[in-house]
Amino acid sequence: MKNYTDLQHKKVLVLGLAKSGVAAAEILHELGAFVTVNDSKPFDESPDAQGLLQKGITVICGRHPEDLLDEGFELVVKNPGIPYSNRIVADAISREIPVWTEIELAYLISEAPFIGITGSNGKTTTTTLIFDMLNKGNKNPLIAGNIGTVACGVAKEATQDHVIVTELSSFQLMGTQTFKPKIAILTNLYDAHLDYHGTFDNYAQAKFAVARNQDSSDYFIYNADQSIVADYAARSNAQKIPFSVSSRTENGISADDTMIYWQGEPYMERANIALPGKHNLENILAAVAACILIGCEKEKMEEVLATFGGVRHRTQFVREWNGRKIYNDSKATNCLATKSALDAFQVPVILLAGGLDRGHSFEELRPCMHHVKGVVAFGETGLRFVEFAKSCGVSQTVIAQNVEDAVHYAAPMSAEGDVILLSPACASWDQYDSFEIRGDVFIDAVMKL
């Protein structure tokens, strides 16, 4: 950890605990700041707060005092999930008190360079691929952010010989001021989290913060096939590395049906890449580009790509059963994600879909329903999804009680050579507390076939 002295003797408020708040409070305390932690959970119910108090950190729990900022704080470090409309956060901004997330703190104390990955979709897959390939190539990666461990906790232990591979949300990036990754990646931009950001422009600007402070010594890897991303990339001062699955780029990375090209020249054959789908090919291109820039050997990358079956719940290959390949894409909580999953397969698909009914249309899926031979629907949208499937010409449809029940309907509906795909196009909250739980139920049912 760098001997960062700028926070010594400064009064810092850590707003919200959870893992990131605890890690930030402990590190700030070590850096010599006068730390106060404020969390809504009662002190008696918060082992984290009790532990921080034992270390000499001031703890205010169970309430958010209206006069909290009158204590003269010079910095607020907030949990990423706390919106900027929060009374204390808004008050801090009006008083011109800097408001960080722990990502900024991680950058300031880290001896290791960062690879920062963000975007609406594909962050986790891209982050995992980079980590796995760098690990295989003995490049000493550490993984942090939305995936893995809290970034400032990782940065505290990192040395100059490491590289920190960090998945970053728009919530985290909004709380950065000097954060400057050596390599920044923006996978794509779609409407998301507008309840938090208010407008798409605010959301997109938060994402672009991953590259905002970069200069000509850094690299910005971005999706050249999406005009909004390319427009933001034009504002970057970094060395630009576009990726494209639609045309060959002379100054970046691209792919056609058989080959991946680096700087316009053939680099890697696609034949042995295990992960299916155009959307995953975009993730692969971004990840390979980052690893090339770090100096990873091509052979080590190819070893990972030949066996990487996807991140859990994201077009994850589960097993082959009686000639059918079965995939868990429970993370697909909207039509765009399910469309990407369906586009990944050219063989007949038995689609398991449904969930929380937010009144959204399924029409976005119509162009990719032509190879869906059967639909098993469940949840609040079960009937609506079946009616939609029938309107697309799907002849085999059934409504199941839940995901486990859906697996038992899907198995006899399928034939050898088919794909059985859970890709719900809906949130899980009508029946399951999270998409992870829904996916785990699916995997368990599939393994019992």
CB-neighbour burial class of residue 91 (10 A; exposed 0-12, middle 13-18, buried 19+) = middle
Check whether 125 is labelled as a binding-site residue. Answer: yes
Check whether 135 is labelled as a binding-site residue. Answer: no
Q: Which residues of 238-247 are buried (b: 16+ CB within 10 A; e: fewer)?
A: bbbbbbbbee
Residue from 446, 415, 420, 409 nearest 326 by CA: 420
CB atoms within 10 A of CB 201: 9
Check whether 307 is labelled as a binding-site residue. Answer: no
DSSP 8-state class, residue 149: B
Secondary structure of residue 60 in the 3-state scheme: strand
Check whether 119 is labelled as a binding-site residue. Answer: yes
Chain position carrying tokens 């998301």? 192
Q: How many Å apart are CA 281 and CA 3, to the nearest integer?
A: 41
Residue 181: CA atoms inside 13 Å, Cβ hemisphere, count? 30
397 residue type, one letter: T
Residue from 123, 113, 120 nearest 286 by CA: 123
Q: How many Å apart are CA 13 and CA 27, to the nearest integer?
A: 13
Check whether 120 is labelled as a binding-site residue. Answer: yes
CB-neighbour burial class of residue 64 (10 A; exposed 0-12, middle 13-18, buried 19+) = middle
Check whether 122 is labelled as a binding-site residue. Answer: yes
Annotated binding site for ATP: 119-125
Annotated binding site: 119-125
